[in-house]
């Protein structure tokens, strides 16, 4: 079963949601009919803002509607994370829209303490698995990548593809590259990491390095530090066949999360 994944690695306009949506309108348009999943970076409408009181939008606001429209136009699932306010709390929320008009959400569990994210946003408490076109997707956000227990395949939450939307800075580039490979290998799953490029409003540089890795940790698609959009097919049957032939997951330790 072939499933096409598109990495949308782009710079972000600082604190300008309308400008970002207009930019992504243009870069997504050529993907119409050529992909099944388009992944945007973390906080793709604002950059990694610690001013959600001023720049977060309502959970049912313009970006939600925009994502649903993009999914309809492209005939593909489209997602990335957005700073939102929902019932008085702020969340770094991954939104995944489908052509059928469904909007699935995951709130970032691990908030980036060193950037003060835990002081401005509420943490999510539930993982999310979405089945789309026969492929099970698990969307996560940036700092979640450092926590293998939360990322792990486990009973009742089995997935084929784990996705990390990020604003991962150049200073920690090596960690980004190695942790993505680790998550692919230990979970015997495809791993998709989409990072932004360019400097944010605080002078922090981002070098992209977006990637699609197979279930052995081998790269199927690697992007450098330029703004670009690229697509690669993955084979969902191949990952399931590999798990049957090399069932390391059967020896995994049982655990519970608190």
**Which residues are the active-site residues?**
42, 108, 142
Burial class (CB in 10 A: 0-12, 13-18, 19+), 119: exposed
Q: What is the dihedral of CA 187, 189, 190, 192, to 10 degrees?
A: -40
- How far is Cα of residue 50 from the mean position of the Cα atoms in its chain? 19
Query: C-alpha angle with apex 125: 121 to 129, nearest 5 degrees?
Result: 115
The helix/strand/coil state of 232 is: strand
**Polymer length of the chain:** 258
DSSP letter string over 170-186?
A: GGGHHHHHHHHHHHHHH
Report the SS3 class of residue 164. strand
String of b and e for 193-226 (b: at least 16 CB within 10 Å)? Answer: bbbbbbbbeeeeebbbbbbbbbbebeebbebebe
């Amino acid at each position: 079963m072939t499933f096409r994944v598109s990495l949308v690695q782009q710079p972000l306009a600082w604190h300008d949601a309308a400008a970002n949506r207009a930019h992504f309108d243009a870069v997504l348009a050529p993907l119409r009919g050529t992909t099944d999943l388009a992944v945007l970076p973390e906080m793709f409408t604002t950059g990694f803002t610690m001013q959600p009181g001023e720049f977060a939008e309502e959970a049912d606001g313009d970006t939600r509607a925009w994502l649903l429209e993009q999914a309809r136009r492209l005939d593909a699932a489209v997602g990335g994370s957005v700073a939102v306010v929902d019932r008085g709390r702020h969340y770094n929320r991954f939104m995944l829209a489908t052509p059928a008009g469904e909007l699935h959400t995951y709130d970032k569990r691990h908030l980036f303490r060193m950037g003060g994210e835990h002081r401005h946003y509420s943490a999510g408490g539930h993982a999310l698995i979405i089945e789309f076109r026969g492929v099970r997707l698990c969307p996560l956000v940036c700092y979640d990548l450092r926590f293998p227990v939360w990322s792990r395949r486990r009973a009742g939450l089995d997935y084929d593809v784990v996705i990390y939307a990020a604003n991962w800075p150049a200073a920690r580039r090596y960690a980004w590259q190695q942790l993505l490979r680790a998550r692919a290998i230990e979970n015997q799953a495809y791993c998709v990491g989409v990072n932004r490029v360019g400097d944010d409003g605080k002078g922090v540089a981002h070098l992209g390095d977006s990637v699609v890795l197979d279930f052995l940790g081998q790269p199927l698609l690697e992007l450098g530090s330029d703004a670009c959009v690229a697509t690669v097919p993955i084979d969902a049957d191949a990952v399931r066949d590999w798990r049957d032939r090399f069932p390391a997951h059967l020896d995994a330790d049982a655990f519970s999360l608190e």
